[in-house]
Structure 1
Amino acid sequence: MKIKYLFLILIVNQSVFAQNKIQTLKSNTKSISIKEGESFYKDVWDVSPEINPDIFITNRFKKSKKITFYSDIDSISFEVKPQKKYNFVILINNTEKAFTQINTFQNETPSLSPKLVYQRKKLTDKIENDTIPFLLGQDNRIHIKGKINSSEYLDFLFDTGAGANVITSSLINTKVKLEIDGSSENSGSDGKSIVQTSSNNIMEIGNLVWQNVSLVSIDYKNFPFDAVLSWKSFGNKSIEIDYNKNRLIIHNTPIGNLVGYSKSEMKLIEGIPYIKCKLIINDKEYETWYDFDTGSNATLSISQKFASENSLNNTMKNIGTAKTRGSTGIEFKQNKVLLPKLKIGGFEMYQVPIFVSEKDPENGHEYNENIGNNILKRFDAILDFKNNFIYLKPNQLMYKSTLD
C-alpha cells in the first residue's frame, strides 16, 4: 500500500505541472540566484531534481511583487500575489529536470530571511556614510535609541551576535503596536526554541528608516534593553564601532586609512560573524572560531566540548563560578578561570578572566565559543561584511576599565 500511495503522489505532482505549458529556466549549474522584490540573494538556491516539487516560499507581502530566478545562462520572472502557487522547471545541462514551485502562502515559513535596506529621512545628493550615536552601558553593551511603528523611544541593543531584529515580548501592544503573524526557530547560545514573529514593521533609528521589517518576539526577562538591532540591518556594508566617540559608522564606500588596525579573517556561521582567537596556556596555543558578540556583556566563554577535546579542564586557576543564559532563557553554570594569555587580531591580553561551561546545551551551535563586549569594547572595530574581514585597533578602554 505504501508503494502505491507514493506512486499516486508522484502522478499527481506530475499532473500539476502538465496542466499548463510550464516555463523553463535553463542552467549549467545547480546553484541559482534569486531576486525577491528588491532583495537579491546570490547563489542561495540549490536545485534539487529529487524533490518534486522543490518549493521556494516567499517572505510575507501584500498586493504583489516580482520574483526572479537567475542561472549562469538564463533567468525567469514571475509577478506573484499572496496565497498562490507558481510552477516552473529548471533544466540542468539540457538533460535533468527539476520541477520547482513558488509558494506565496502567508502562513508558511519563508525560504529566505528578508534583506533589510534602510533609507534616510533627510535625503542628500552626496553619497556619505551614516553615523549612529550610542551609549556604552555599565553592562558593557552598546545601547541605541530608536522606534518601532512610531512608538516612543526604545532602548535597542546593537548585537553582532544576533541574526535577526528582536522585540521584547512584554512590550508588544503595550509600548509597541504590532501584529504577530508567524513563527520561526530561534537558535541561541543556550539552545533552540520556537518563537513568534511579526512582519511588515517600520523601524527608525536616527536619520534612518527601515520598511517591511520582520521582528522576532523573545521573552527577555530582567535584561536591560527593549529590542535588539542585528548587524543584518546594514546588509553587506562595513560597520565601524568607534568607542572613542561612541558611534557606529555605516560605510557606504570603501574604507581607507586603516593605520594601526590589525586585519583578521571573518567567518559567518549560521549568519553570525566569527573571529579566530588563541588561548595560550603553559606556552601551548589553542585556536578556534569565536562568536564576535557585542550583545554579550562577558569576556570570553568556551564550551565544555572544546575544553574536553583540548584537555583544558583544571589547567587554569579557578576564581569563581557564574550562571549564563541566552535568548531561550535556559541557565547554564560556568566556571570562571584565569587565562594566562589571549591572542585576538594580532594583539595580546594577559591574565584574562574567562568562562568554561560545565555542560553544553543539547541543541546549541556547532561552534559555541563566544567573545563578548567586555573584551571587544577595548578595540575599535571595523566589520567588513562585503569582503569578510574584521579590523581591530586598541582604544582608550584597553587598560582603563577592569576585566570582570
Structure 2
Amino acid sequence: MKYLYLFILLIIIQAASAQSKLLVIKASSTNVSINDGGYFSKDSWRLSPKVKPDIFTADRARRTKWVTFYTDIDSIRVKVKPGTKYNFIILLNGKESCYTQIVSAIMPQSKSKNTEETHDTIPFSLTSFNAIQVKAVINDTDTLNLHFDASSFDFRLTKAALLKKTKLLSNQADALSGKANPDYNHLNKVFKLQIGTLTFNNPDIFPTSVTAHDMDGRFGYNIFEGKQVEIDYDHSVMIVHSKLLKISKAYVKSKMEFIRSFGYIKGTFYINSKKYTGNFIMDTGSDQAIILDSTWVSQQNFSKSLKLIKLTVLRDPRGVKYETKTVLSPLFKIDNFQLTDIPTLILSGKNPLGFEINYLGNDLLKRFNIILDFKNDYLYLKPNSLMNLKYKGNS
C-alpha cells in the first residue's frame, strides 16, 4: 500500500512541476502583433528582455475572451478570464528570454471577509474649461493640479509638470540644467500619491503630452476598479466607495458597456422626426458637450440641415485642409433625460482612438450628479443645479 501512496505522490509532484514550466514561443523580431478579443493591432507590442515580467493588460471585459500574441515566426493563444493572469516566455533570436505576462484589466476579487469599508472624499473645482480639477500631492512634497478623466487610464503627468513641478527628475542633473533632454521613462520612485483622503502607495506614473487646459496631468477611471465613484457637482466632491451604496431613487440606472476598455452608454438624437442612436464614451476630460465620429455620421446619414455654429479650418504641413463643424442639435436623450439645443462637434477625419465611437464631454455630463459603478458596470444619473446652464459652445 505504501508504494501506491508513493506512486500517487510522485504523479502529483510531476504534475505540479509540469505546470510550473512556462510555455516558450520564438521570435526573431522585437515587434509583436496582438489580437485582443477580436481587435487586432499590428506591431503594437515591443519585446523588452530586461523587463521581467513585461506585462500586457488585456482590454477590460467581464466575459472570458482569447488574446493572441503573434511574433514574426510563432504565436500563442491565451484564454483570459476576469481576475486572471498568464505567464509565458518569448525567446528572441534563440538567446534572450522575454518573460511576458498577460493580465486581466479586472483585478481578482478579494477573498477576505474583513475588508474595511471606506468612503474617501476628494474635493474638486470645476474649471472654466469643464475640467474636474483635483489637488494631488506626490511623495508628501510636490503638489499638482490633476483632472479626472473617465475615458482615460492610470496616473499621467505632463512632461512640463514632471520637469518643473516635481522632484521626479532630480536624478537627471543635466536635464534639470538644460544640458540634456529629460528621459521621462526613468523617473524617481513615486512611493505615495494622495488625492483628498485617498492614498495610493507605489502607483505607476506615466508621462503625457495631452491633458485638459491648465492641468499638470490626469487620472483615469481604472484606478477605481471594483469601486463606486460618486461625482457630486452640487457639492464639488468625488466620493469613492469601496462597498456598494444604497442609491437614491432620484437616480436613473443604466448599463455601462465597454469597448477597448472604454466605458460607453447609449444616446439618441431626435431631428425632424428621425432618430439617430449611437454609442458614447463618457469623456469628463473634454470641455465639449457632444463629439461625433465621422464614420458614424456617414453611416447614420446624420442630418445635414442643422444650424452651423462654428466652422474651423486647419491645414497640415502638406497643405491638406481639415474642416471641423459644430452644429446645433435640437434634442438629445440620454436615459430618457431630454437635453435641448446642444452644440455638437462633428469630427472630419479618423477617430483618434482608431475605432468608431462618439463622445459625451463634460459640458454635458456636468449637468448630472453621476455614480459610476465599476463593480457591476452601471451608470447612475441625476439632474443637478447646472442642468439649465448655458452651453459653452453656444456662448
TM-score for the superposition, normalised by structure 1: 0.65
Distance in 1 separating the partners of 2:313 and 2:101: 35
Contact 2:263 2:282 in 1 (8 A): yes
| 1:303 to 2:298 alignment | no
The structural deviation recorded for 1:287 is 0.8
Deviation at 1:163, TM superposition (A): 2.1
Number of the residue aligned with 2:47? none
Q: Aligned equivalents of 1:140 and 1:111: distance in 2?
A: 36
The aligned counterpart of 1:314 is: 304
1:367 to 340, 345, 356: 356
2:154 counterpart residue number: 164
Instruction: Give the drift of 1:155.
Output: 0.2
Look up the equivalent residue of 1:387 and give its one-letter code.
Answer: N
Corresponding residue for residue 166 of structure 2: 176
Check the 8 A contact 1:197/1:215 in 2, yes or no: no
Kept after mapping to 1: 8 A contact 2:90/2:98:
no
1:178 CA drift (Å): 2.9
- Stretches of 4+ aligned residues off by more than 6 angstroms: 41-45, 47-53, 69-72, 105-110, 113-117
Partners of 1:143 and 1:266 lie apart in 2 by 24
Aligned partner of residue 297 in structure 2, secondary structure: helix
Q: Deviations over 1:383-403 (max 9, x none)?
A: 111111111010010013444
Matches within 5 A, 1:1-400: 22-24=17-19, 46=66, 54=76, 100-101=88-89, 111-112=102-103, 127-178=117-168, 201=190, 202-220=192-210, 223-312=213-302, 314-322=304-312, 333-361=323-351, 364-400=353-389
Structure 2: how far apart are the matches of 1:46 and 1:135?
42
User: 1:309/1:177 Cα in 2 relative to 1: closer, same or farther (>3 Å)?
Assistant: same
Q: Structure 1 pair 240/107, CA: closer, same or farther in 2 (3 Å)?
A: farther
Aligned 8 A contact 2:90 2:100 in 1: no
The number of residues matched between the two structures is 313
In structure 2, give the amino acid aligned to 1:147.
V
Does the CA contact (< 8 Å) of 1:293 and 1:370 recur in 2?
Answer: yes
> Could you say if the C-alpha distance between residues 299 and 107 of structure 1 is closer, same or farther in structure 2, counting changes exceeding 3 Å?
farther
Tell me, which stretches of 5 or more residues in structure 2 are unaligned?
A: 1-15, 22-53, 109-114, 171-183, 315-320
Q: Percent identity?
A: 26
Q: CA deviation at 1:157?
A: 0.5
Q: What is the aligned partner in structure 1 of residue 9 from structure 2? A: none
TM-score, length-scaled by structure 2: 0.67
Go from structure 1 to structure 2 and tell me whether the alpha carbon gap of 1:218 and 1:323 turns closer, same or farther (over 3 Å shift): farther
Whether the 8 Å contact between 2:67 and 2:80 is mirrored in structure 1 is: no
For residues 261 and 222 of structure 1, the distance between their equivalents in structure 2, rounded to whole angstroms, comes to 28
Does structure 1 conserve the Cα–Cα contact (< 8 Å) formed by 2:66 and 2:80? no
Cα displacement string for residues 121-174 of structure 1 (whole angstroms, at most 9, x for unaligned residues): xxxx96231111110111111000012233421001011010232110112243
Shift of 1:229: 1.2
**5+ long unaligned stretches in structure 1:** 1-20, 27-35, 57-68, 78-85, 87-99, 118-124, 181-194, 325-330
